[in-house]
Amino acid sequence: MKILEALKWGELELIKAEIENPRWDSDLLLGHVLGRRREELYLDRDGVLSATAWKAYQDLVARRTDREPLQYILNNQEFMGLGFYVDNRVLIPRADSEIIIEKLLELKERSPRPEVKIADLCTGSGALAVAIAHYRPDAYVVGTDLSSAALEVARYNALLNHVQVDWRQGDFFEPICGEEWDWLVTNPPYIPEEEYRKLAPEIFEEPQMALVGAENGLIFYRRLAEEAASLLKRDGKILMEIGWNQGQQVEELFKKSFKTRIFKDYGGRDRVVYAELSS
Ligand code: GLN
């Protein structure tokens, strides 16, 4: 079996299974087996696969046609230009969540201070916390998660990216209570139960606890709104990822003690709520 023939075979299998980007996935899976970049496969299109490589490739294509997300098979997802290890213990980082990092860097603290403290609640793979530690090396960064399995992945991602993050296990903001923070960021589970059931099959491979939130997906924002004033320094700020139709409801929850703004994602939909303690 030649490389190009194998790629075509894989693409066809994925088309039959109605996978969204069949050619892309087929290329990346064979690249993964051979330890080669996509372009290299095409440069060596007549190269012959060993029997072991062909078998390994068929196994990966079968996993993908069974709807395992590509990122779990490759154990990799890029976020903010950094590489992250992912498997089914964690939500796969999404490009839309990069808005949180971009805004955090843009809206930097107005006055200098001896130590900037930033906490990422429901950190999952650690994508937000690790990216913050990378782009704000001056800050003390904490990542929390209820799932200790997720924190194992997050810890590994900090090592991979050579950054220091303090990982704390516990429910939402409980691990950071009793301290004051400059920034809280979070991408909590916010999908309402009835919407979750309608999503693409790949999503059911991801941890449900990272996706589905009670109270129409609003429970974490409500709890944070109730507690946030005591968790923040006087000019503390919050950046929260939200579902496309939750902006107004989340702003409503925070408006008593916070000035709020909504930021849109690359698709032009509401994606992040910014809340600043109004003194
Ligand atoms: N953005 C994710 C999705 O739509 C949801 C992430 C979350 O619930 N925090 O799949």
User: Does residue 189 line the site of ligand 1, with CB under 6 A?
Assistant: yes
CATH 1.10.8.10 region(s) of the chain? 3-66
The radius of gyration computed from the CA coordinates of the chain, to the nearest angstrom, equals 21
Per-residue pLDDT of the chain (279 residues; tens, 9 = 90+): 999 999 999 999 999 999 999 999 999 999 999 999 999 999 999 999 999 999 999 999 999 999 999 999 999 999 999 999 999 999 999 999 999 999 999 998 888 888 999 999 999 999 999 999 999 999 999 999 999 999 999 999 999 999 999 999 999 999 999 999 999 999 999 999 999 999 999 999 999 999 999 999 999 999 999 999 999 999 999 999 999 999 999 999 999 999 999 999 989 999 999 999 886
User: Does residue 190 line the site of ligand 1, with CB under 6 A?
Assistant: yes
132 SS3 class: helix
- The complex's ipTM works out to 0.92
Q: Please name the fold of domain 78-277.
A: Rossmann fold (3.40.50)
CATH 3.40.50.150 region(s) of the chain? 78-277
How far is the centre of ligand 1, averaged over its atoms, from the C-alpha of 127 (Å)? 14
The answer to whether residues 132 and 104 touch, using CB atoms and an 8 Å cutoff, is yes
Measured between alpha carbons, how far is 279 from 276 in angstroms, rounded to an integer? 9
Q: Which CATH superfamily is domain 3-66 in?
A: Ubiquitin-associated (UBA) domain (1.10.8.10)
How far is the centre of ligand 1, averaged over its atoms, from the C-alpha of 265 (Å)? 13
Characterize 123-153 residue by residue with b for buried, 16 or more Cβ atoms within 10 angstroms of its Cβ, and e for exposed: bbbbbbbbbbbbbbeebbbbbbbbbeebbeb
The pTM of this model reads 0.95
For atom 3 of ligand 1, the residue with the nearest CA is 211
Measured between alpha carbons, how far is 270 from 263 in angstroms, rounded to an integer? 6
